[in-house]
């Protein structure tokens, strides 16, 4: 799995865009050589050929050359623009997650990585993913900055408190790869890492079924929404509700008081839970209390996953213990293709179940 040569020169190449990064790297090495050789040779040749032959000689004066100056300004500029373009294209690939990616939530904490799968599995410092699937990580942190770095996939991103950052990748090769924290985060920074396991789909399915899984994020989110936090009492979707309707809100444009429009992405949902008065939807009063300090980062992820799963037409009030308004259709249609497998296990509404229990039998 890992490179075993004496002096490892090249890290494993295990994602769809890893080769692009490597090509860019080789291109820059070639450019470096192409610039270095003439300069180094010229310095050596001049220094030897024109070495001092007579003490304090006065060689003939030479003035600059406009032609030369122009040439050696334009050539580096043109070359640097090709580097810029190459870099921008690869960067665009690295940071434009595809829509059909499998979603995984990551929470950084001094000094561990906590991972929630859409199917309910939770892991710490390990990430199991199937080969050949596009995977998108939605990441945040409970404390300081961290950085999720997988050298074999040639990608990383800082994990920032108070907001979401994303990376995506499509593993191409089964194996076990390093996972590092690359942004200095205090005492045990160098211990904040682990392994990414890329598995064949079959092995991955076995891994999924062999693990005791807790609530899926959508289930946990529904539980929080309807029972634990009581969001449903205002947001259940009736026409007279005090809270904004949430069905189908994800990825749409929301009109705010004051006339601005904002896209309802993960960041918006998160912000509206923690800091509700900062963005008031048109037609509603600023009466929602903040939930800051009452929900953990992982619960927030679940709430976001749940709200994303609400499609138009479906009601939010699905739980038996929900304050039923006119909730008829007790059914949600999760947006993602991977989530449904666990939706009907009926565990969701179990009163008193602590959504915080890690339930990770994976280790």
Range 83-142, binding other proteins (CB under 8 A): 83-84, 86-95, 110
Q: Which stretch binds other proteins (CB under 8 A): 42-50, 199-207, 224-232, 347-355?
A: 42-50
Q: Which is nearer to other proteins, 14 or 232 (CB)?
A: 14
Among residue numbers 248 through 307, which ones bind other proteins (CB under 8 A)?
292
How are strands ordered across the β-sheet holding 146-150? Answer: 126-130, 194-199, 175-181, 146-150, 155-159
Work out how close the CB of 1 gets to other proteins at its nearest, in angstroms, rounded to a whole number: 11
**Residue 327 CB contacts under 8 Å (≥ 6 apart), including other chains:** 236, 237, 315, 316, 317, 318
In the numeric block, which tokens belong to residue 104?
């995984």
Q: Which stretch binds other proteins (CB under 8 A): 31-39, 244-252, 258-266, 307-315?
A: 31-39
Work out how close the CB of 137 gets to other proteins at its nearest, in angstroms, rounded to a whole number: 13
- DSSP per residue, 182-229: -S--STTGGG--EEEEEE-HHHHHHHHHTS-----HHHHHHHIIIIIS
C-beta of residue 89 within 8 angstroms of C-beta of residue 326: no
Name the strand (E) or helix (H) holding 232: helix 232-235
Work out how close the CB of 151 gets to other proteins at its nearest, in angstroms, rounded to a whole number: 3
Q: Which of 1, 19, 30, 35 binds other proteins (CB under 8 A)?
A: 35
Q: Which stretch binds other proteins (CB under 8 A): 24-32, 218-226, 227-235, 307-315?
A: 24-32
Q: Which stretch binds other proteins (CB under 8 A): 97-105, 184-192, 203-211, 279-287?
A: 184-192
**Residue 133 CB contacts under 8 Å (≥ 6 apart), including other chains:** 101, 102, 170, 171, 201
C-beta of residue 24 within 8 angstroms of C-beta of residue 90: yes
Q: Which is nearer to other proteins, 262 or 335 (CB)?
A: 262
**For the chain, what is the radius of gyration of the CA atoms?**
27
Binding mask 211-250 for other proteins (x = CB under 8 A): ----------------------------------------
**Residue 203 CB contacts under 8 Å (≥ 6 apart), including other chains:** 174
Q: Which is nearer to other proteins, 9 or 346 (CB)?
A: 9
| Lookup result for tokens 């705010």 | 256
Q: Which stretch binds other proteins (CB under 8 A): 59-67, 232-240, 311-319, 325-333?
A: 59-67
Work out how close the CB of 277 gets to other proteins at its nearest, in angstroms, rounded to a whole number: 12
Q: For residue 59, state whether it binds other proteins (rule: CB under 8 A).
A: yes
Cα first-last separation, the chain: 21
Phi, psi of 107 (to 5 degrees): -120, 125
Q: Which of 1, 30, 40, 257 binds other proteins (CB under 8 A)?
A: 40
Residues contacting other proteins: total by CB under 8 A: 92
Work out how close the CB of 127 gets to other proteins at its nearest, in angstroms, rounded to a whole number: 16
Q: Which stretch binds other proteins (CB under 8 A): 112-120, 129-137, 176-184, 323-331?
A: 176-184
Distance of CA 223 to the CA centre of its chain: 25
Q: Which of 104, 114, 117, 149 binds other proteins (CB under 8 A)?
A: 149
Number of CB atoms found within 10 A of residue 91's CB: 14
């Amino acid at each position: 799995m890992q490179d075993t040569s004496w002096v490892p020169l090249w890290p494993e190449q295990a994602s769809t865009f890893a080769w692009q990064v490597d090509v860019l790297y080789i291109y820059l090495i070639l450019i470096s050589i192409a610039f270095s050789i003439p300069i180094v040779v010229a310095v050596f040749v001049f220094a030897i050929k024109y070495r001092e032959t007579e003490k304090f000689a006065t060689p003939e004066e030479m003035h600059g050359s406009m032609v030369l100056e122009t040439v050696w300004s334009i050539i580096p500029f043109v070359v640097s623009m090709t580097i810029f373009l190459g870099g921008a294209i690869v960067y665009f690939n690295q940071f434009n997650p595809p829509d059909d990616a499998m979603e995984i939530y990551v929470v950084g904490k001094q000094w561990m990585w906590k991972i929630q799968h859409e199917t309910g599995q939770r892991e710490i410092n390990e990430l199991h993913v199937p080969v050949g699937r596009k995977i998108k990580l939605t990441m945040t942190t409970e404390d300081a900055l961290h950085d999720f770095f997988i050298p074999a996939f040639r990608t990383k991103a800082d994990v920032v408190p108070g907001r979401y950052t994303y990376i995506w990748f499509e593993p191409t090769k089964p194996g076990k790869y390093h996972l590092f924290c690359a942004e200095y985060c205090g005492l045990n920074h160098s211990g904040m890492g682990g392994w990414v396991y890329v598995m064949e789909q079959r092995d991955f399915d076995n891994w999924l079924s062999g693990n005791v899984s807790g609530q899926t994020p959508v289930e946990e989110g529904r539980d929080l929404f309807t029972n634990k936090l009581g969001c449903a009492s205002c947001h259940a979707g009736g026409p007279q509700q005090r809270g904004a309707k949430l069905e189908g809100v994800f990825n749409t444009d929301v009109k705010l008081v004051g006339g601005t429009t904002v896209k309802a992405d993960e960041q918006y949902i998160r912000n509206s839970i923690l800091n509700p008065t900062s963005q008031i939807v048109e037609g509603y009063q600023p009466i929602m209390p903040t939930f800051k300090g009452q929900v953990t980062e992982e619960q927030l992820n679940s709430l976001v996953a749940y709200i994303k799963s609400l499609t138009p037409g479906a009601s939010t009030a699905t739980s038996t213990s929900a304050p039923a308004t006119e909730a008829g259709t007790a059914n949600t249609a999760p947006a993602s293709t991977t989530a449904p497998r666990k939706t009907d296990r009926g565990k969701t509404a179990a009163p008193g179940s602590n959504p915080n229990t890690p339930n990770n039998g994976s280790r």
